[in-house]
Amino acid sequence: MAGRRLLPGARLLGYIAMAPFVVPGIVLAIGFFAAYARPPVVLYGTPWILIVAFATRFLPIAYAGSEAGLRSIDIELEHCARTLGSSQLRTFGRITLPMLRRGILANWLLTFIPSLRELSSAIFLFTPATAVITTLIFDLSDEGNYEAVSALGIIMMALTFGLVAVGYRLFGASALAQRQGVR
């Protein structure tokens, strides 16, 4: 998206989107706790703080995949639409977005799977009311309840394998492998 320069400052937005990649999850979680544990916006203790933290943590994966998908679309298609009188927004909605749809869905899948396994941010931001599977596994392991840890681990693996199977079925193996950088 920064490569198309559709917005002023798009390159800066690209750098900001990639910035969470270099921040450790626990540091990101401490920042979210400091920002959202007090008024005016209190998100701590709600599922929203985990959603925002995970979305921020894995934004670079989604951004890089979307940027690669956008680069694979020939810009001449957009120029043709603009030449024929289409606005920039209409060109994006009628030409670019339909061509990106499969890539965006594949990127969502490839972003969702690591968020299922995220512990470093979740361990600091969860409460008993907002526990996620990784924090449950961590707590049960700490208590020595390995039977429950094994059961939850198998559920998490089955869910992950199921999502990957759905992704392969919907997008094909080549689309997912290309998004992961494997050929």
Neighbour count for residue 5 (Cβ, 10 Å): 10
Domain ranges of the chain: 10-180
Rounded Cα–Cα distance for residues 11 and 154 (Å) = 42
- Read off the pLDDT of each residue in 117-145 and give the average, rounded to a whole number: 94
Count Cβ atoms within 10 A of the Cβ of residue 54 and give its class: 0-12 exposed, 13-18 middle, 19 or more buried.
buried
* Sequence-separated contacts (24+) of 15-21 with Cβ below 8 Å: 17/59, 17/60, 17/63, 18/60, 18/63, 18/64, 19/60, 20/56, 20/57, 20/58, 20/59, 20/60, 21/60
Cβ atoms of 67 and 3 closer than 8 Å: yes
Cβ atoms of 33 and 59 closer than 8 Å: no
Average pLDDT of the chain to the nearest whole number: 88
Report the predicted TM-score, pTM, of the whole model to 2 decimal places.
0.79
CATH of the structural domain 10-180, one choice from 3.30.870.10, 2.60.40.1180, 1.10.3720.10, 2.60.40.10: 1.10.3720.10
pLDDT (tens digit per residue) in 3-58: 566 678 888 988 999 999 999 999 999 999 999 999 999 999 999 999 999 999 99
pLDDT at 174 over 70: no
